Amino acid sequence: MAKVALITGVTGQDGSYLAELLLSKKYEVYGSVRNSSAVALERIAPILAKIHIVKMDLANQKSLDEVVANIRPDELYNLAAQSFLQTSSKKPIFTGEITALGAARLLDSIRRLSPQTRFYQASSSEMYGRVLKDPQRETTPFYPRNPYAVAKVYGHFITGHFRETYGLFAASGICFNHESPRRGLQFVTRKVTHAAASIKLGITNRLLVGNLKARRDWGFAGDYAQAMWKMLQADKPEDFVIATGITHTVEELLETAFAEVDLDWKKYVDIDQGCLRPREVADRLRGDASKARKKLGWRPTIGFKELVQMMVRSDLALLSRSRIAHAR
Question: Which is the catalytic residue, given 27, 148, 224, 268?
Answer: 148
The model's pLDDT over 129-169, given as tens digits with 9 standing for 90+, comes to 988 899 999 999 999 999 999 999 999 999 999 999 999 99
Q: Does the annotation count 198 as an active-site position?
A: no
CB 181 within 8 A of CB 175: no
- Considering the domain boundaries, does residue 294 fall inside one? no
Same domain, 96 and 237: yes
The model's pLDDT over 298-315, given as tens digits with 9 standing for 90+, comes to 999 999 999 999 999 999
Same domain, 25 and 159: yes
- Considering the domain boundaries, does residue 288 fall inside one? no
Q: Return the pLDDT at 87.
A: 66
Q: How many domains does the chain have?
A: 2
- Considering the domain boundaries, does residue 290 fall inside one? no
Question: Which is the catalytic residue, given 75, 126, 179, 260?
Answer: 126
- Considering the domain boundaries, does residue 296 fall inside one? no
Same domain, 127 and 204: no
Report d(CA 6, CA 45) in Å as an integer.
17
Read off the CATH number of the domain in which 14 is found. 3.40.50.720
Q: Does the annotation count 148 as an active-site position?
A: yes
Read off the CATH number of the domain in which 271 is found. 3.90.25.10
Same domain, 141 and 60: yes
- Considering the domain boundaries, does residue 151 fall inside one? yes
Give the residue among 213, 216, 196, 212 at the shortest CA–CA distance from 204. 196
Question: Which is the catalytic residue, given 124, 125, 180, 314?
Answer: 124
Q: Does the annotation count 124 as an active-site position?
A: yes
88: pLDDT strictly greater than 70:
no
- Considering the domain boundaries, does residue 298 fall inside one? no
Q: Domain of 57?
A: 4-178+218-242
Same domain, 105 and 210: no
92: pLDDT strictly greater than 90:
no
